[in-house]
Chains A and B, each alone.
Chain A
Amino acid sequence: MLRYVVVRLFQGAIVILLISLATFAIMRLMPGDPVYLLLGEGQIRITEEQVEAIRTKWGLDKPYYEQYLIWVTNMAQGNFGESLIRTGVPVRQMIFEAIPVTARLNVVAIAIALAIAIPAGIIAGVRRNSIFDYATAMGATLGVSLPNFWIALMLIVLFALMLGWVPPFGLRSWKGYILPVIVLATEQTAVFARVMRGATIEVLDKDYVRTAHAKGLAYKTVILRHAVRNALLPVVTVIGFRIAFLLSGTIVVETVFAVPGIGRLFTDSIFRLDYQVVQSIVVLLAVLIVAANLLTDLTYAFIDPRIRYD
């Protein structure tokens, strides 16, 4: 077990290193020079010395490998540098202001998705080929086929513009959270329900469930105690695996609803060529995803004692 954890940690570290290298290379290849963007793109007259001074200050005059090493060392120490565009503001501060917003939206969305998907998946799996099963299957297919930014726009038209129940953009009151959470939860609900249904069906065929029935346990006990507990396993994996997708969803949803979270910070920084911010976000995400995957596998081992890693 310990050996397994060490190997996985090592692999994760390599993945993070590769991502940091790739991100660094990509950001340096981006068109446009942040120095000029910073100085207002030709609107103000700038001297060569001023340009040089800024380059020196940000280390943009050093060779690429040196820039990379400085950046990686700083990142490892938790120092993400300063924003190139919002002069003097530490990237760390920008990211730490945005994380709680994104986290709140996504945690609530996942909680709602699980609260709907797990019972729906179980019922659909137990009552296979019933009307409820077909309805769940249809809903799940529809859920993954709806582009989240379009659902977002339609919800804005219906609930914000026509009915006026919630504000169309922003998070000024708690009502602002409702639409973004619904949008984020839709796709997750569909995915989780599908997995839960599949897992339930599979588990119901197992010998130990038949044994539980045979020894005369109440139907409800068999389903809840013997079947569902084992069927939850794949759902745990999917939650871990979905983190990468979740983030992709957040980018668009935050843009539509003008939510000041990580996704919005990311797109804004791309358009502003704010290298430091984009690099830092990407690497943080990689760390998060690698950690989530590792955690998922360990949880797996914890929930299912049959799994042993040596």
Chain B
Amino acid sequence: MTLAEAEPARRSEASQAWRRFRANKMALTGLALIILLIAMAIFADAFAPYNPIDDIFRGMRGVGPSREHPLGFDHLGRDLLSRVIYGTRVALIVGLASSGLAVLIGVAIGAISGYFGGWIDTVLSRIVDTLMAFPVLALLIVLAALLGPSLTTTVIVIGITGWARFARVVRADVMSLKEEDFVMAARATGVKDARIIWRHILPNVLGPVIVLASLGIGSIIILESALSFLGLGVRPPTPSWGGTLADGRAFITRYPHIAIFPGIMIVITVLAFNFIGDGLRDALDPRQKD
């Protein structure tokens, strides 16, 4: 708080937030890691020494790490380093796209629910309660089995099951915001509801949504890898961390090294997103600290 008060008033909110974020070493480390991972996902061809699917080394099944192959080979004789690097793509695509989808649905439903109230709110709130009361992984498993496992399915099912938290936060904020003078004024001058929500209310609830979304990406990445691990996420031979962990589990007594590195990558990625989320929370919403 003292830092915020010391800042000149003319500085914009965004630049104040960035100053606070920048002061947080953990958050910056997380950001640097994520930028690195995104680069690795986009330029996987350049980072990976071999093709993760087609380069199968004969007679090298389950061979451990060596100088040319620092992570060793998987149970089919594919280079594990290359598979782990390509796996970054799946993790980041699912993490970011599912969060985006969940935010879109959650903000829309939360805004409608909070702004209009009445029976719409009652119905939507019961749906939110229902989703929150459901063991997410169980729902994901059922939906993934229903739609057939694939990358698109994974993104969609995680997105459509994960929006309830956003809806709840946005609804509460919208309910208090719609009583504010500036909203009343807009309504009195005849501005349409849709425009009031879009121009006057939503910009004010963005902060908590961003914080919640960034803190949620980590757990989405864990969910994705759990799904792939159970054989209900991204399908082999497409390299994904969860899928490689499933291979590692199947061959754990013979080739235990397979299961180590995909897990380390998941932990690093999830930690990085959590650090960014903590940093954003402190930067955007300095009142709310744990």
Contacts and interface: CB of A to CB of B under 8 A. Distances in A.
Interface of A: 11, 14-15, 18-19, 22-23, 26-27, 29-31, 141-142, 144-147, 149-150, 153-154, 156-157, 161, 168, 194, 197-198, 244-245, 247-248, 251-252, 255-256, 266-267, 270-271, 278, 281-282, 285-286, 289-290, 293
Given A150-B263, A154-B259, A247-B135, A11 B126 contact: yes
A15 B245 contact: no
Given A144-B274, A157-B259, A30 B145 contact: yes
8 contacts: A144-B274, A147-B225, A147-B263, A150-B245, A157-B259, A161-B256, A281-B138, A286-B134
| Chain B binding surface, main DSSP class | helix
Q: Which 6 A-B pairs have the closest CB atoms?
A: A150-B263, A248-B137, A247-B135, A145-B270, A153-B259, A198-B290
Contacts of A251: 135, 137-138, 141, 230
B151 interface: no
Contacts, number: 125
Contacts of A290: 133
Nearest to B263: A150
Contacts of B130: 15, 18-19, 22
A150 B266 contact: yes
A142 B142 CA distance: 29
Contacts of A18: 126-127, 130
B143 A26 contact: yes
Interface stretch (B17-25, B100-108, B246-254): B246-254
A244 B259 contact: no
B77 interface: no
A157 B252 contact: yes
A259 B274 CA distance: 31
A145 B218 contact: yes
Nearest to B132: A244
A161 B254 CA distance: 10
Nearest to A147: B222
A205 to B, nearest CB: 12
A156 B252 contact: yes
B249 A256 contact: yes
Contacts of B207: none
A15 B143 contact: no
B138 to A, nearest CB: 6
Contacts of B253: 161, 168
Contacts of A14: 126
Given A147-B222, A278-B142, 9 more contacts: A14-B126, A18-B130, A26-B142, A141-B271, A141-B275, A266-B138, A267-B230, A285-B135, A289-B133
